[in-house]
Homo-oligomer: A and B are copies of this chain.
C-alpha cells in the first residue's frame, strides 16, 4: 500500500472499495467491564460471553491477567474462561486475554486462551502515567512475553493507545503512532489495534494516522479501536473502512465509559458498528437483535443505560411495534 501523504482538508483522491466483510473484536467483557465502577460476578461475565457467542460474535477479549490490586474487576479471569471455554470451542470463537507480563502470560496459558494481547501507548506521558514506564521500556518488557507466547503457539495482538490524541499531551503525531505500531508488529504481533483512547479523533486525523501506520504495517494487520466520547466513532470507522481496515474493536452496549471523562461515552458500541457495516452491505456475521439482547443483559447487570444509539433505537422500535399489535 502506497504511503499516501495527507495534508490539510483534502481527502485522498482514490477511494478503495470497502471491505466485503468486517471482523469484530468484542472487548466489552474485558476493556468494557474493567472500566465500569460496578463489579459483576464471573457467572454474569460468562453469561454475557455466551450471549455474545450466540449472537455470532467470534472474537472475544474475555479477561485480563493483571494484578487484582490494580484492576479488581478482572480478578476472576480464570474462572470466567473456564466457564465459557466449552461454548467458545463449540462455536470456534477465539478467546483472548490481556497480559502485562510473564506472570500474566502464564495465567493466560493455564486458562487455555487462544490469543493474548499486549499494550503500549503512542504517548510518552500516557505510558508513564498509565503503566509507569516509558514507551521503550514497555516494549522491552513485552519482548520475552511475546517470545514465550509464540513458543506456546498463541497469537499475540498488540494495542497502541492514544493514537488520535492524549489526555496529557494533546495532539499525537501520526508517525509517533506508526513507530510504536511497527515495533509491536516487528516483535511478532499479528495485528495492531489502534486505539483512540480519548475519543476525540476525526475522520481526517484517522486517515492520516492510518496512512502513517500503513507505511510500516500491512493494512490487513491494522484494527481500529474507536471511542465515541466526542460522537465521532461511526465517522472514524467509515474513514478506516475507506482506507481498507477490516477489523474493529468494540464493546457491546458501549460498556466501559471513558476513564478520562467521567460519565461520558467510551468504547464505541458493538451494536453501532454492526448496524453501520450491515447497513452498507458489509457482513459482520452478527445478529443485531441478539447482540442488542446481550447488551441489554449486561446493562441491567451493571445498573446503567446503554450507550448504544442503535440499541436505544431498536428498543424504541420494539416498544412501538408492541403498542401497535
Contact = CB atoms under 8 A, between A and B. Distances in A.
Contacts of A317: 261
A202 B235 contact: no
Give the most central of A10, A205, A265: most B CB within 10 Å. A10
Interface string A7-29: 01111111101101000000000
A316 B262 contact: yes
A225 B80 CA distance: 46
Interface string A295-318: 000000000000011101100110
Interface residues of A, number: 52
6 contacts: A9-B18, A228-B309, A238-B239, A261-B313, A263-B316, A265-B312
Interface of A: 8-15, 17-18, 20, 199-205, 228-232, 234-235, 237-239, 242, 260-265, 269, 272, 275-276, 279-282, 308-310, 312-313, 316-317, 319-320
Contacts of A310: 230-231
A186 B17 CA distance: 35
Nearest to A272: B231
Chain A interface, >50% SS class: loop
A47 to B, nearest CB: 26
A233 to B, nearest CB: 8
Contacts of A261: 313, 316-317, 320
Contact of A15 (B15, B309, B312): B15
Contacts of A260: 320
A281 B18 contact: no
Given A9-B282, A11-B18, A242-B11, A276 B235 contact: yes
A54 to B, nearest CB: 23
A151 B8 CA distance: 43
A111 B14 CA distance: 49
A239 to B, nearest CB: 7
A276 B202 contact: yes
Nearest to A281: B9
Contacts of A204: 18, 279-281
A313 B262 CA distance: 9
